[in-house]
Amino acid sequence: MKKISRVSVALCLLVAACGRAEKVESPPGLRTELTRTELLDKIKGGWAGQVIGCTFGGPTEFRYQGAMIQDYQTIPWDDSLVALRFEKSPGLYDDVYMDLTFVDVMAREGIDAPAESHARAFAHAGYPLWHANQAARYNILNGILPPASGHWLNTPHADDIDFQIEADFAGLMSPGMVNAGTEVCDRVGHIMNYGDGWYGGVYIAAMYSLAFVSGDIEYVVKEGLKVLPPESGFARCMRDVIACYRVDPNDWKRAWLAVERKWAQDVGCPDFVFHPGNIDARVNGAYVVIGLLYGHGDFGRTLQIATRCGQDSDCNPASAGGILGTMLGYDGIPAVWRDPVKPVEDKPFAYTTMSLNKVYETGFGQALEMIRKNGGTVDGDKVRLPFQAIKPVPLEVSFAGCYPVERKRLDIKLDTSAEINFEGTGYVLTGQPSKMDDANAAPYVFQVELVLDDRLPVVFGMPVDDLVRKLEISWAYLLRAGKHTIKLRILNPRPGEYIRVDDLITYSDKPVERTY
């Protein structure tokens, strides 16, 4: 590994602060016209690239937290891997079958299908979910619909990566039309995310859109940033990566270290606050951009780098592979990567009735419809794409003024009632119901009464069924500074069963000052 100096990292961040990467002129080769064959080829390349990246990075997912996968470690790839993992590890492709849920809704209700239709479809789907997706599922099933279902006051997972890994479809149905893709992202992405968590998906979709009209990966990365408010944390993080690339376009590890030093803290997701992992959209989005920029348009190198950055190392190469696959087109993806996908192209993904061949066809039809809707034309074999000057979305900030100060292990078995005290301006209480011994028992939902300080009691359900579980027991932010009391009481206790109260995470309205 090349030695990386503090001066080099500081130089990266200085270039970013100067904003030198913000203004990008359109290259003269920007395309506004494609044949139907070329358009379909690019759509196929985007979907296939996503599957390839997901397959390649799957075995390393979250095994490298805050660490690179070193150069000497081989990441396997051969002709049989896609078919093998498609059969043996269908959950690996959650990136794809989540996208397909939204594609299917639009196939049934049209490309303008409302947010509520998308929300109910994924909330009632049979696949397991995690993080922001599962939090949103619980919210929707309990009457909190989008956009409230993804707002940070209603989910500690608002800045998680979830929509970032599911926004591919929005860009693939909006070739060259970043604003059109953003409108789709607004309807779907706010189901589960807000702020930087939502921006991750908006940015990924923008890069997919631009990959249809430009063969310059650096242009796509920089131009796509115009869709985000420049003062947002997500945009600033991406600019730091671009700045490092300008300093040395061949040393991706320098950019990785700059991101790690400045952006690695996860403030929201209770799984990773005070823990080494990071599912934050900013950090993982940076790894996608590192892969794209330092991969220099080479498909295999792009996947290698995006994966070796670690953390969510199947989703990140899936996003990078999908964007580059769109740019190259299906036929332009090297055969060593593309051909292993062919044996599964007619097989439906788990929990869906849709295969790759089906989504190629459906996505192509939706893209043509989106082109016509936005003023483009389809004349025989010629598809003319409408020009759209990119409009930035409004500023959203999750967890503003929330600073983690402590994570305390409680280990309480809540079978009747408990009282918990803390000091700060916010908290998250983690835990789950115990698993019942009788696997054939009817699904049970603990009804829990919560009283915070002198507020009125609130009653909520804690389902035992993992599919509809509540990820955390409770949380609250923006409280008055000082001491607080949480009182919990199970209204329908069962002998021998309980709710595990695991950890108490507390927040302050000021960052913790450490002296060294």
Least confident of 62-66, 178-182, 255-259, 385-389: 62-66
Q: The tokens 């090349």 sit on which residue?
A: 2
How does pLDDT run across 222-270, given as a tens digit for each residue? 999 999 999 999 999 999 999 999 999 999 999 999 999 999 999 999 9
Helix axes 196-211, 315-328, angle to 10 degrees: 20
> Nearest-CA neighbor of 319 among 309, 306, 330?
306
- Alpha-carbon distance values, 361 to 36, 95, 354, 367, 445 (Å): 12, 19, 10, 10, 42
pLDDT, position 110: 98
In this predicted model, which residue has the larger pLDDT, 41 or 5? Answer: 41
How does pLDDT run across 495-509, given as a tens digit for each residue? 999 999 999 999 999
Mean pLDDT of 85-98: 92
Q: What is the C-alpha separation between 51 and 415, in angstroms, rounded?
A: 45
Tokens representing 485 are 């009391």
Residue 124, pLDDT > 70, answer yes
Q: What is the C-alpha separation between 92 and 315, in angstroms, rounded?
A: 9
Least confident of 8-17, 93-102, 421-430: 8-17
When pLDDT is cut at 50, 70 and 90, the band that residue 26 belongs to is very low
Residue 6, pLDDT > 60, answer no
| Ranges of CATH 2.60.120.260 domains, the chain | 403-508
- Ordered strands of the 458-463 beta sheet: 417-424, 482-490, 445-452, 458-463
CATH superfamily for domain 22-384: ADP-ribosylation/Crystallin J1 (1.10.4080.10)
**Percent helix, strand and coil across the chain, each rounded to 5?**
45, 15, 40
| Ranges of CATH 1.10.4080.10 domains, the chain | 22-384
When pLDDT is cut at 50, 70 and 90, the band that residue 16 belongs to is very low
How does pLDDT run across 321-333, given as a tens digit for each residue? 999 999 999 999 9
When pLDDT is cut at 50, 70 and 90, the band that residue 62 belongs to is confident
Residue 19, pLDDT > 70, answer no
User: In whole angstroms, what separates CA 326 from the centre of its chain?
Assistant: 19
Q: What is the C-alpha separation between 463 and 470, in angstroms, rounded?
A: 7
Pairing of strands 426-433, 472-476: antiparallel
> Nearest-CA neighbor of 122 among 223, 273, 135?
135
- Alpha-carbon distance values, 199 to 41, 263, 282, 394, 426 (Å): 27, 16, 9, 10, 24
When pLDDT is cut at 50, 70 and 90, the band that residue 439 belongs to is low
| The model scores a pTM over 0.85 | yes
Residue 131, pLDDT > 50, answer yes
The alpha carbon dihedral of 242, 247, 250, 255 has a sign of: negative
CATH superfamily for domain 403-508: Galactose-binding domain-like (2.60.120.260)
In this predicted model, which residue has the larger pLDDT, 25 or 481? Answer: 481
Mean pLDDT of 431-449: 82
Q: What is the C-alpha separation between 356 and 295, in angstroms, rounded?
A: 26
The answer to whether 465 touches 398, Cβ cutoff 8 Å, is: no
Residue 25, pLDDT > 70, answer no
Left (φ > 0), alpha (ψ -120 to 50) or beta: where does 2 sit? Answer: beta
**Count of CB atoms within 10 A of residue 516's CB?**
2
Least confident of 223-237, 320-334, 364-378, 430-444: 430-444
How does pLDDT run across 165-177, given as a tens digit for each residue? 999 999 999 999 9
**Count of CB atoms within 10 A of residue 442's CB?**
8
Residue 4, pLDDT > 60, answer no
User: In whole angstroms, what separates CA 96 from the centre of its chain?
Assistant: 12
> Nearest-CA neighbor of 174 among 292, 51, 326, 303?
326
φ and ψ of 14, to 5 deg = -65, -45
Left (φ > 0), alpha (ψ -120 to 50) or beta: where does 380 sit? Answer: left
User: In whole angstroms, what separates CA 146 from the centre of its chain?
Assistant: 17
Residue 413, pLDDT > 50, answer yes
